[in-house]
Amino acid sequence: MNPANPETDREIFSAVIAPHRSLSRRGFLIFMAAVGGVSFATGLVFLSMGAWPVFGFFGLDVLLIFLAFRANYISGRAREVIRITESELLVRRISAKGAMAEWRFNPYWVRIDVGRDHDGDLQTVSLTSHGSKLEIGYWLSPPEKADFLAALSAALATARRGLPA
């Protein structure tokens, strides 16, 4: 173990957690084409009946849907990187705008706290050390959090034991 330089320690665990986006870019283009086509066709019906302002509102609806999806994809750029070496647990959060924040913990002193709902499902995973608490993995679903918790706990146990040379 080399506590003087955690950057040269062997990596025990590494995870990148990001918000899930179920619609691909291609799926988004297909969806927007369908919404735009339906809105345009329906707008033409209203236009032919003389209700021309309705046609504009259908275009506005398409624009608002596009902007909502654009904001959703931008927020999907956020990341949380968790890295455990022999002497350090590093949590790095990168916001959707690229701002970065880091927290460093000693794996010997950090404790994992979990929060469960009334059904016993895992809701939160937090790191606690020296009076500070940091929730991690909040984009994960309860089953994903349970898998992540198991992997994180095993990695911390390995770091505490020390790796064989």
pLDDT averaged over 10-residue windows placed end to end, the chain, 165 residues: 59 93 89 95 92 89 94 91 94 94 94 91 91 92 93 93 64
Which pLDDT value is given to residue 165? 44
Cα separation, 150 vs 141, whole angstroms: 14
Residue 68 inside a domain? The answer is yes
Q: Rounded to two decimals, what is the model's pTM?
A: 0.75
Domain count, the chain: 2
Identify the domain containing residue 54 by its residue range: 25-75
85 with 71, same domain? no
Q: How far is CA 153 from CA 39, 116, 149, in A?
A: 51, 17, 6
Residue 125 inside a domain? The answer is yes
Which pLDDT value is given to residue 164? 54
**Tokens in use for 19?**
């918000």
